[in-house]
Amino acid sequence: MEGERRASQARSSGLPAGGADADSPGGGTPFPGGGGSSALLQAEVLDLDEDEDDLEVFSKDASLMDMNSFSPMMPTSPLSMINQIKFEDEPDLKDLFITVDEPESHVTTIETFITYRIITKTSRGEFDSSEFEVRRRYQDFLWLKGKLEEAHPTLIIPPLPEKFMVKGMVERFNDDFIETRRKALHKFLNRIADHPTLTFNEDFKIFLTAQAWELSSHKKQGPGLLSRMGQTVRAVASSMRGVKNRPEEFMEMNNFIELFSQKINLIDKISQRIYKEEREYFDEMKEYGPIHILWSASEEDLVDILKDVASCIDRCCKATEKRMSGLGEALLPVVHEYVLYSEMLMGVMKRRDQIQAELDSKVEALTYKKTDADPLPEEIGKLEDKVECANNALKADWERWKQNMQNDIKLAFTDMAEGNIHYYEQCLATWESFLTSQTNLHLEEASEEKP
């Protein structure tokens, strides 16, 4: 009876049947990311000043909560409580929507850079407002990526577009470059939002919501220069030592990454070359049709056929332009993103190996220590836990990444195949109609010549 009474009270208050147990997440209060919801678990600059206090950043509610994203505390603001109710009513729906748009050029006496507007709409309880609008530059995205790697060294962080494009491909700050980067930054943020762990990172939340001065202040709270140098030295030392006994599953993972990197880089190079040749072909075709029109002016007997050929070339030219647009928007960005992913994966494996190398060095040092008061055994225990957590995180994220990669690659190549079929069908129909009209014309002329 007592158990039934407690269960009834829990249901009426919105708590689990066990009540607000101190060991349960949030003391029994639901929070984003908990409960196994699959839908939820799922600027260029000149390298100068990073201070952005002079940039205006807008937020419908600029206040930031001090608690961590995983904090079990119930939000205290009325709007946050409303957001929490919305979240609980629709637990299986996407609750974080991010848009990157409206790039803006900023010119100062020492640098030129681009900022992008980021609009965030959410029903999550840890946010104080349901909508935020901020402006960020490329350096801010780099900072976020670094913080995610620091907090989650063996999770697969989505890649950012390169700081500079390949020389000769596109000029800095022209419209094509800016639009390509905008799309890549949009995908970067949305991949983080869809990640079951990264989406609740506190630095990610601050990136989406903080005003310029708040973000700048938050950046300065990180480890100092000497601390970062010490971490770098230790990482280099670990990498120099190497890993003596890498587990077999990670050996297989590393082999896959090396092979995947080779193949995807080759596909990327060939795809870029094909696209370049297609553009050259398209440029030639644009000049090819008008030549036939000019020719027809001096060939009275060939006027009709020359104009028909020019018309067919013009239609094929438009079909080619559409096909190139499909390649440039569907295939090339996906392939190149996974080129960048392959580099990220190598970095993840290196960080995992560094963690294990640190453990191996402590174990080795212990064999030469004979005093009972030595703190090494306790350090080794902590490092063993750290290695286990790192390995488990990577294994779980690896399967998720592979599934996403396979889906993305399949979709990209399927779209390319459909685009090619449609393109060749259009060109074939164009020239078949030309031949049909010419055949009918010959038949009419032949019938008129008969007595």
Report the CATH number at residue 164: 3.30.1520.10
Average pLDDT over residues 326-330: 88
Final residue of a structural domain among 188, 223, 258? 223
Supply the range of the domain harboring residue 194: 93-223
Alpha helices in 152-247 (DSSP H): 175-194, 202-209, 212-219, 225-241
> Confidence band (pLDDT; 50, 70, 90) for 61?
very low
Average pLDDT over residues 354-373: 74
The residues pairing with 131 across neighbouring beta strands, listed in sequence order, are 121
Do residues 252 and 289 share a domain?
A: yes
Does 357 score more than 80 pLDDT?
A: yes
Final residue of a structural domain among 167, 188, 223? 223
Q: Which of 89, 136, 99 is nearest to 114 (CA)?
A: 136
Do residues 189 and 97 share a domain?
A: yes
Do residues 274 and 189 share a domain?
A: no
Share of the chain above pLDDT 70, in %: 70
pLDDT at 223: 61
Specify if 294 maps to a domain. Answer: yes
The more confident residue out of 59 and 294 is: 294
Other C-beta atoms within 10 Å of 252: how many? 10
* Tokens linked to 68: 């961590």
Specify if 124 maps to a domain. Answer: yes
Specify if 71 maps to a domain. Answer: no
CA atoms of 185 and 207, how far apart (whole Å)? 13
Do residues 246 and 142 share a domain?
A: no
Specify if 251 maps to a domain. Answer: yes
Do residues 200 and 267 share a domain?
A: no
Do residues 292 and 427 share a domain?
A: yes
Do residues 344 and 281 share a domain?
A: yes
Specify if 161 maps to a domain. Answer: yes
Average pLDDT over residues 142-150: 95
How many separate domains does the chain show? 2
**How much is the mean pLDDT over the chain?**
78
pLDDT at 241: 55
Do residues 406 and 344 share a domain?
A: yes
Do residues 282 and 407 share a domain?
A: yes
Q: Which residue has the tokens 């078949």?
A: 432
> Confidence band (pLDDT; 50, 70, 90) for 320?
very high
- Could you tell me the CATH number of the domain that includes residue 285? 1.20.1270.60
Do residues 256 and 386 share a domain?
A: yes
Side chain identity, residue 195 = H
Specify if 426 maps to a domain. Answer: yes
Specify if 229 maps to a domain. Answer: no
Final residue of a structural domain among 223, 258, 282? 223
**pTM of the complete model beyond 0.75:** no
The more confident residue out of 342 and 176 is: 342
The separation between the first and the last C-alpha atoms of the chain, rounded to the nearest angstrom, is 111
Do residues 416 and 442 share a domain?
A: yes
Asked whether 412 and 328 are in contact (CB, 8 A), the reply is no
Does 242 score more than 80 pLDDT?
A: no
pLDDT at 66: 39
The more confident residue out of 368 and 148 is: 148
Average pLDDT over residues 241-245: 68
pLDDT at 442: 82
CA atoms of 391 and 250, how far apart (whole Å)? 9
Do residues 268 and 213 share a domain?
A: no
Side chain identity, residue 99 = T
Average pLDDT over residues 218-230: 61
Specify if 233 maps to a domain. Answer: no
Q: Which of 77-86, 183-192, 295-304 is least confident?
A: 77-86
Q: How does pLDDT run across 72-129, given as a tens digit for each residue?
A: 333 444 444 444 444 444 445 788 999 999 999 888 888 888 999 999 999 999 999 9
Q: How does pLDDT run across 248-286, given as a tens digit for each residue?
A: 999 999 999 999 999 999 999 999 999 999 999 999 999
